[in-house]
Homo-oligomer: A and B are copies of this chain.
């Protein structure tokens, strides 16, 4: 009996026409049949949003190198749900999200559409990875990202990744020759210090525009993703959907409840 090729679901949050998803499809198609369901527009910063108060439209999309491809008006997390519950006949063997233009390391993970799609895949029982390059420019040199993506897919297939595994992969913004390797890490504590620019539209109405500066709160901690990236390593953090703050739970259990 011939072994079936791996079925690979590809999503992103930068939209179906972005450079990052094209490269991801190109690399993934060497490992199996690729199915794309990706947003029809930029969905960056969408976090784990899903569409619950309106409908979702999907349209077939011509995408070189894929077995099937659809653009979707929903969020990245919607795309995964639509793929699994509506479009695909069989559950994919692997779910890959990206390649994102910009870092999803540290706290960025909670705001990330890329990572919400990967997490959604893992919740559906599909080993998943979100892959992000720490460079926001559309014309960035993607060679290190290409090599890292290939290495991650190989590792996941070779090690028979657990069905609920979700990897947050980030690639440092340095030339390929300077990348030192791969490090498995935990998520660093960090914070955004925000600033709102005040602009005026054509009618003279004020609007606010978010800008901010990121601060690494664990600069010296060598087991974190930000340390790895700062030292030219690719960081891989396994994530899950359990947000319980276990140490805090121990503390507040002592509170007197006044019911």
Contact = CB atoms under 8 A, between A and B. Distances in A.
A146 interface: no
A179 B210 CA distance: 43
A259 B199 contact: no
A53 interface: yes
Given A151-B259, A184-B252, A210 B81 contact: yes
A71 interface: no
B182 A257 contact: yes
Interface residues of A, number: 82
Given A239-B244, A253-B184, A111 B48 contact: yes
Tally of this chain's copies: 2
Contacts of A208: 55-58, 82, 86
A236 B259 CA distance: 13
Contact of A55 (B207, B238, B249): B207
Interface string A203-231: 00111111000000000000000000000
Contact of A210 (B56, B165, B244): B56
Interface in A154-195: 154-155, 159, 162, 165-168, 179, 181-182, 184-187, 189, 191, 194-195
22 contacts: A45-B52, A47-B77, A55-B199, A56-B207, A109-B243, A119-B243, A151-B257, A151-B258, A151-B259, A159-B252, A162-B248, A181-B259, A184-B249, A186-B246, A186-B249, A187-B243, A189-B242, A237-B249, A238-B252, A239-B244, A240-B245, A242-B245
